Amino acid sequence: METFEQLLEKSTKIHGHICAGQVIGVRMSIIGLREIDIDDPKAQRKEFYVLVEIDRCATDAIQSVTGCSLGKRSLKWLDYGIMAATFVNLKTGKAVRITALEESRETSKKYCPEIGDKYKQQLEAYRIMPEKELFKIQAVKIIVPEEDMPGRPIRRVQCARCGDWVQDCREIIENGKPFCKPCALGRYYEIN
């Protein structure tokens, strides 16, 4: 695997700018892959799965380092608003959840006291802080449902109301008929 600095440079290009979230995401990915015994994410890309709990800068870094993506169905976004990610080895079942510690913001001051701007201070400190001061690392058990696994869709069904096709068991059955979630639960948009 490439060095931290090489991975951070690639991630920064994809994300568009360097920030503390990029550093956290790259470090989180390096640790996560190490902990689930993935040595070469490109060669082993079908052997692991990542769940991210926030849609912020670190998620771009995780995608950049791991090669996982929503489109490949190897990255799953859970809208929890927590700076955390879970890395799962699909062959062995080994999994680890890594959470960025909120107190690391304050701790960063002791690593780079000469930097006055708190965001720059965090950016530089997060590069060098020991893992235990930056992250909570927990071994966890994850069962990835068959319908969430990477690969081809399990099935496709047509919504009984609007006619849209629903993949991967995401339909809702009402009175024995399949409906898409927008028809069954409500849309996030209005049709003009």
Q: Where are the domains of the chain?
A: 4-147, 152-185
Of 7, 98, 129, 97, nearest to 60 by C-alpha is 7
Of 54, 47, 49, nearest to 73 by C-alpha is 49
pTM equals 0.91
* Buried-state track 117-130, b at ≥16 Cβ within 10 A, e below 16: eeeebbbbbbbebe
Pick the CATH number of 152-185 from 1.25.10, 3.30.420, 3.30.60, 1.20.58: 3.30.60
Tell me the per-residue pLDDT of 109-162, one tens digit each, with 9 for 90 and over.
Answer: 999 999 999 999 999 999 999 999 999 999 999 999 999 999 889 999 999 999
Tell me the per-residue pLDDT of 9-30, one tens digit each, with 9 for 90 and over.
Answer: 999 999 999 999 999 999 999 9
Pseudo-torsion of CA 58, 60, 64, 70, nearest 10°? 120
- Residue 18 corresponds to which tokens in the numbers above? 């360097």
Tell me the per-residue pLDDT of 50-109, one tens digit each, with 9 for 90 and over.
Answer: 999 999 999 999 999 999 999 999 999 999 999 999 999 999 999 999 999 999 999 999
CATH 3.30.1330.130 matches 4-147:
yes
Strands 95-100 and 165-167: unpaired
